[in-house]
Amino acid sequence: MRIITGIMIVAVAVLAATGCRADTAEPLGVPVYRQGELGYNTFRIPALAVTNAGTLLAFCEGRKGSSSDTGDIALLLRRSGDNGDTWGEHQVVWDDPGNTSGNPCAVVDRDTGTVWLLMTWNRGDDHEKDIIAGTSRDTRRVFVTHSTDDGLTWAEPKEITKNVKRENWTWYATGPGGGIQMLHGPHRGRLIIPCDHIEAETKHYYSHVIYSDDHGETWQLGGRTPEHQVNECEVVELAGGRLMLNMRNYDPEKRYRQVAFSDDGGASWKDQRFDTALIEPICQASIVRHSWPDGDRPGVILFSNPASREKRVNITVRASQDEGESWKAQTLLHAGPGAYSSLAVLSNGEVACLYEAGLKNPYESIMFAKFSVPAPVSHPLLSSAREWELIWNDEFDGDSLDTSKWEAIGDSPRRAAFWVKEDAYLDGTGSLVLRTKRDGDRLTSGAVRTLGRFEATYGYFEARCEFPTQPGHWPAFWLMPSSDIGSLAQAGQDGTEVDIMEKPWRGDKIQHALHWDGYGKDHRSEGKEVEIPGVSKGWHTFGLWWTPEEYVFYVDGVETWRTNAGGVCQVPLYIKLTEEFGDWGGNVADAKLPDYFRVDYVRVYRDKGMVDGE
């Protein structure tokens, strides 16, 4: 990981919550659109809406000649009358042959039942760069259509460009995704569509909104953001009638979403800032109100995007119970490639997400998934009852291993391999790599430790890891005392080996274990095997909360084991990251090498309310 702000927990560190999925081969849900169907090359840019009658409307772009953003693109729709269990035939909402009709952004007028769909148009031979440069044959135009029969039929698209686009704007996009109707305050009933544009003179991206106060009959331009480097966006109404605009961020140094606020129904925006809980790879996202505060029950706002700074993967839905101030619950829909998404709330209260996903690239299909509101995770760092201080960490951002923090273990036989120093290195992209390879007649692998450099008594220890894929591997994240694990078990006073994570190759199982009373005939141990579907693939976090009373183990922010077996260790322990080979790791002969155990970061936090050695 690249950035730490105070003791912020990067969202992926608590990616899996109650009821969520870890990395799996297939995305959650059912495909509504599949690449290559019906003569279309690719389906992109999902937009999901739920009508007053409960009908689901799943819009997207049907790209005919290629997957490009430019060319012959039609705007399509599929409908569902049973909360997404089945879907009707494909409908063409708008097709101007040879040209680009897209960027669907839908809003339902709850007062009238009318569904309004805002869209953009440009010539199929005008590329975005030419439109931005002002050298295109035409420009980006804005259109609106509507349906009064739950999406069965649609009015002829009407152009509204002059009302909602300034003359010095070149590029323009509606949404994509969903708009809102304000439900509270002096602007109750206002329909709002999030948009973005580029100024001709500066070439700067800004987000803005357009709105209607007459149930969609006319549309006018609202306010733009005070700062640039933002574009695709969605809007949510907060308690009290304030609006929050959540925006795609184009600052490559800060891979977080940006937000801005409006107190006048979107006529102006202020207080633009980064939301450091919402990481992004520079991509569209979706935000929607699930429920409003009611007495002691908090309201819920939902957010979806690819939760990664590096690339479009990890389609994640987060929930906030404090009006977007924090995001303490998450559900992972797909850990593989994924991009744009659109959230909605079903008539039965379930959450629905229409999102782009695939196995090899994000645009293989548009999936529909429905699920319960994510529940807050049990991750200790999210506890408001404690004040945590980051006391030690390594983000592995350099070009070589930091020898002030780590010792690479060398020329040491271990299981079926030798630990050698050259097999522990940084890859230059922010990860520690522990490699296993064949070196002549022997196998070698990597291991590092903080012995003589860092040790701690109590605290929260966490590492984010990606496992090898071949048989025979035995990666581990563990703690050790500098003097061995002792010969006595009374209250752990002579040290304990604490195996935060051991991963046998076969299956989606993680081992937690404790060892004490030495390694001889008096050795004692206790452990737990936990099955985590999909843990063998992708990145996952492994944590230990060590207190004077107990050990609590976590996988992806969810508690997996709690114990005080052997008497809790009361002496300092150092950190080890190791890649072993053979034994119960699997059949060495079947392995294709080299293979790699990768670690994104290691972090250690101290509870400031606990006195050292307490």
Q: How confident is the model at residue 441 (pLDDT cuts 50, 70, 90)?
A: confident
Report the C-alpha gap between 557 and 381 in whole angstroms.
9
Is the pLDDT at 234 greater than 70? The verdict is yes
3-class DSSP state for residue 422? helix
> How many other β-carbons are positioned within 10 Å of the β-carbon of residue 242?
16
- Residue 113 contacts residue 52 (beta carbons within 8 Å): yes
Interior angle at CA 96, CA 92 and CA 100, nearest 5? 95
55-82 burial string, b = 16+ CB within 10 Å, else e? bbbbbbbbbbeeebbbbbbbbbbbbbee
> How many other β-carbons are positioned within 10 Å of the β-carbon of residue 6?
8
Report the C-alpha gap between 202 and 169 in whole angstroms.
10
Q: What H or E segment, with its residue span, contains residue 264?
A: none
pLDDT for 488 equals: 40
pLDDT for 310 equals: 86
Report the C-alpha gap between 49 and 179 in whole angstroms.
9
The mean pLDDT of 323-330, rounded to a whole number, is 88
Report the C-alpha gap between 175 and 45 in whole angstroms.
10
The mean pLDDT of 584-603, rounded to a whole number, is 79
pLDDT digits (tens, 9 = 90+) for 454-495: 999 999 999 999 998 777 778 999 999 987 565 444 444 568
Catalytic positions, written as ranges: 69, 232, 340, 356
Q: How confident is the model at residue 233 (pLDDT cuts 50, 70, 90)?
A: very high
Burial of 295 (0-12, 13-18, 19+ CB in 10 A): exposed
- Of 238-252, 264-278, 487-501, the range with the lowest mean pLDDT is 487-501
pLDDT for 14 equals: 32
Which position has the higher pLDDT, 34 or 533? 34
Report the C-alpha gap between 76 and 324 in whole angstroms.
32
- The mean predicted confidence, pLDDT, of the chain is 89
The mean pLDDT of 598-614, rounded to a whole number, is 79
| Cα separations in angstroms, 177 against 154, 195, 330 | 18, 10, 20
pLDDT for 487 equals: 43
Q: How confident is the model at residue 520 (pLDDT cuts 50, 70, 90)?
A: confident
Partners of residue 531 on adjacent β-strands: 509
pLDDT for 609 equals: 72
pLDDT digits (tens, 9 = 90+) for 93-114: 999 999 999 999 999 999 999 9
Q: 0.75 cut: is pTM over it?
A: no
- Share above pLDDT 70 across residues of the chain, in percent, rounded to a whole number: 89
- Of 195-199, 375-379, 404-408, the range with the lowest mean pLDDT is 375-379
Is the pLDDT at 566 greater than 90? The verdict is no
Is the pLDDT at 18 greater than 70? The verdict is no
The mean pLDDT of 424-441, rounded to a whole number, is 89
pLDDT for 5 equals: 27
CB neighbour list of residue 262: distance below 8 Å, 6 or more residues apart: 223, 242, 243, 245, 268, 269, 270
Which position has the higher pLDDT, 587 or 390? 390
Is the pLDDT at 7 greater than 70? The verdict is no
Which position has the higher pLDDT, 557 or 549? 549
pLDDT digits (tens, 9 = 90+) for 118-149: 999 999 999 999 999 999 999 999 999 999 99
Q: How confident is the model at residue 396 (pLDDT cuts 50, 70, 90)?
A: very high
Burial of 129 (0-12, 13-18, 19+ CB in 10 A): exposed
Domains defined for the chain, CATH in brackets: 17-28+120-376 (2.120.10.10), 388-607 (2.60.120.200)
- Residue 210 contacts residue 195 (beta carbons within 8 Å): yes
Report the C-alpha gap between 585 and 604 in whole angstroms.
28
Is the pLDDT at 249 greater than 50? The verdict is yes
pLDDT for 23 equals: 39
If phi > 0 it is left, if psi is from -120 to 50 it is alpha, else beta; for residue 591 that is beta
Is the pLDDT at 614 greater than 60? The verdict is no
| Closest among 302, 310, 381, 362 to 13, alpha carbons compared | 381
Q: What is the dihedral of CA 323, 328, 331, 335, to 10 degrees?
A: 110
**83 secondary structure, DSSP code:** T
Phi/psi for 445 (5° steps) reads -150, 175
Cite the DSSP H helix spans in 156-257: 161-164
pLDDT for 442 equals: 80
DSSP string computed for 11-75: GGGG---TT-----SS-SSEEEEETTGGG-SEEEEEEEEE-TT--EEEEEEEESS-S-SSSSEEE
